[in-house]
Structure 1
């Protein structure tokens, strides 16, 4: 369809006369008439009733004038967005799980700023389910989340693109005075206090399915606190409140300094992918996805996987 046909029809509705409408469109009346016929052929139905001495506008056209105006306005706006697209003047809304906001997003933002120094972000934090809902509703144009190796990518369809930023691992750690209860071979008593995830949370489902000790109430002898927030679990584990499972990217500095002991050698770990989804219809989101995925494919993205 030729988009100028919509403008022709709107002028025709305003003037109610082919000759005056053609004059406003700066073309001859025969040329204007041919364009109207082109629209009729595309629709598959007449929009004018042509008599010997007069031409009447079909009532269906008048009845849908508001929708035609809205469609024409959306097309003009889209054309302007594409022609004048400037990522630097854009605010990108991203739905993100709490954990990657702490562990991953700061590096991602710094990398994006190298390309678009004035780019702004609006982060909508939530659990995995809520973030997916925000993205599906169109409240955000991007989604940042963890995925396990055993799960399929989220089935969003052709209007959504998916890329990987990097990798991570969910590992068990212990801090504070509880570190001194760990034996030389990294064993720890099964009744050691634990800070666990709710079984219906994303990490809770991952750890519960794998039957990881100290991860959820069902596989813990002494749960002292339950929380869905990895950042909170990290702080409580640092104080020695209990064993906690958190992404390695959130714990590696404390493991290096000795504030945390990793128990992954004995209790195992859960590999995670850091996934990015973007609405393919949003230019700024696609531009960000391209630079972030390029960094990952070139090997530049931080690989936060813990040593096995």
Structure 2
């Protein structure tokens, strides 16, 4: 089935007649009529009801319209990808992000990379472990993820080069109706599983700094920050979320911060790549990310590493 045939059929369906479909397809009516007959002859069945004036699609064909539209879209994408793969000297760049960073940081990275007209960018999202696996497997060129400053438990082996490109803060927030004037003793919480990065950050960095008289009561648990964000908006409990994710909701009054009552945790935003096997193109892209990335002001951390230095956290 050729893409042009699918688009001819859809043109008749959308316009309601051969004459208007021919105008849409930028050909004369006689030429379009010949194309319609060729389609029918090739497929081996009638697609158009010629008993009606103006001519229309057969009911069975019209019922297939959603599938035809989907097929048309997929064929167009495939044609574009084939064209890109042969015409772009820069090729396709792939990188992965932790889920929350995909929402807040990746658009800035893509914008910086798209200044190169010869490049196509693909972004993958996952938890921290998934991002590292994708990097090790060669499925992505680099990964962007949260790190905890001065955290001695995180270990990037010497095979990796890591550079801090920004910063964020994990802050406790909740719906306005949950905030109380009296000191907190029991905290209804939206928690992260202990086997995901932010769950480990909470267990190691935040929970030990809670007052001894405070009790955490888990109301919901989820691994995705975007889900925790929605739970917090819904008034389910207190969630520790990246400030970059909740800044607008706080400014709009849909969430309130509990930073005066509960601990916060600074986070670094780091780009990570394999140390070996990089070519000149990879190095140029890496420098764009680690030195020239113009993040918004609230994400601009001061890099703590000299240019070209390999960070190894023992």
Note the C-alpha offset of 1:243: 0.6
Show the counterpart of 2:258. Answer: 263
CA distance 1:140–1:262, shift in 2 (3 Å): same
Note if contact 2:184-2:261 (Cα within 8 Å) is conserved in structure 1: no
Given candidates 170, 192, 196, the residue that maps to 1:197 is 192
The superposition leaves residues 136-195 of structure 1 with CA deviations (integer Å, 9 ceiling, x where unpaired) of 12222211110001225743435x4322221101111112532xx332xxx663334211
Show the counterpart of 2:277. Answer: 281
CA distance 1:240–1:213, shift in 2 (3 Å): farther
Show the counterpart of 1:173. Answer: 173
Please list every run of at least 4 consecutive aligned residues from structure 1 whose deviation after the TM superposition is greater than 4 angstroms: none
Q: Structure 1: any 5+ residue segments left out of the alignment?
A: 1-85
Note the C-alpha offset of 1:255: 1.3
Note the C-alpha offset of 1:118: 4.7
Given candidates 231, 247, 258, the residue that maps to 2:226 is 231
CA distance 1:182–1:94, shift in 2 (3 Å): same
Distance (whole Å) between structure 2 residues aligned to residue 237 and residue 118 of structure 1? 42
Note if contact 1:176-1:237 (Cα within 8 Å) is conserved in structure 2: no
Give the alignment of 1:68-107 within 5 angstroms: 89-107=90-108
Distance (whole Å) between structure 1 residues aligned to residue 188 and residue 208 of structure 2? 11
Q: Per the alignment, in what secondary structure is the counterpart of residue 94 of structure 2?
A: strand
Question: Are 2:246 and 1:251 aligned?
Answer: yes
The superposition leaves residues 54-74 of structure 1 with CA deviations (integer Å, 9 ceiling, x where unpaired) of xxxxxxxxxxxxxxxxxxxxx
CA distance 1:214–1:161, shift in 2 (3 Å): closer
Distance (whole Å) between structure 1 residues aligned to residue 209 and residue 216 of structure 2? 8
Note if contact 2:176-2:253 (Cα within 8 Å) is conserved in structure 1: no
Note if contact 1:176-1:239 (Cα within 8 Å) is conserved in structure 2: no
Note if contact 2:176-2:256 (Cα within 8 Å) is conserved in structure 1: no
CA distance 1:110–1:154, shift in 2 (3 Å): farther
The superposition leaves residues 209-268 of structure 1 with CA deviations (integer Å, 9 ceiling, x where unpaired) of 1243899xxx85321110111111011101211110111110111111111111122212
Point out the structure with max Rg over C-alpha.
Answer: 1
Q: Per the alignment, in what secondary structure is the counterpart of residue 109 of structure 2?
A: helix
Show the counterpart of 1:78. Answer: none
Note if contact 1:141-1:282 (Cα within 8 Å) is conserved in structure 2: no
Q: Structure 2: any 5+ residue segments left out of the alignment?
A: 1-86, 301-314
Note if contact 2:135-2:143 (Cα within 8 Å) is conserved in structure 1: yes
Question: Are 2:138 and 1:112 aligned?
Answer: no
Question: Are 2:302 and 1:302 aligned?
Answer: no
Aligned CA RMSD, in angstroms, stands at 2.8
Q: Per the alignment, in what secondary structure is the counterpart of residue 212 of structure 1?
A: helix
CA distance 1:92–1:193, shift in 2 (3 Å): same
Q: How many residues align?
A: 208
Note if contact 1:164-1:276 (Cα within 8 Å) is conserved in structure 2: yes
Note if contact 2:92-2:120 (Cα within 8 Å) is conserved in structure 1: yes
Provide the TM-score with structure 2 as the length reference.
0.59
Note if contact 1:194-1:214 (Cα within 8 Å) is conserved in structure 2: no
Note if contact 1:214-1:243 (Cα within 8 Å) is conserved in structure 2: no
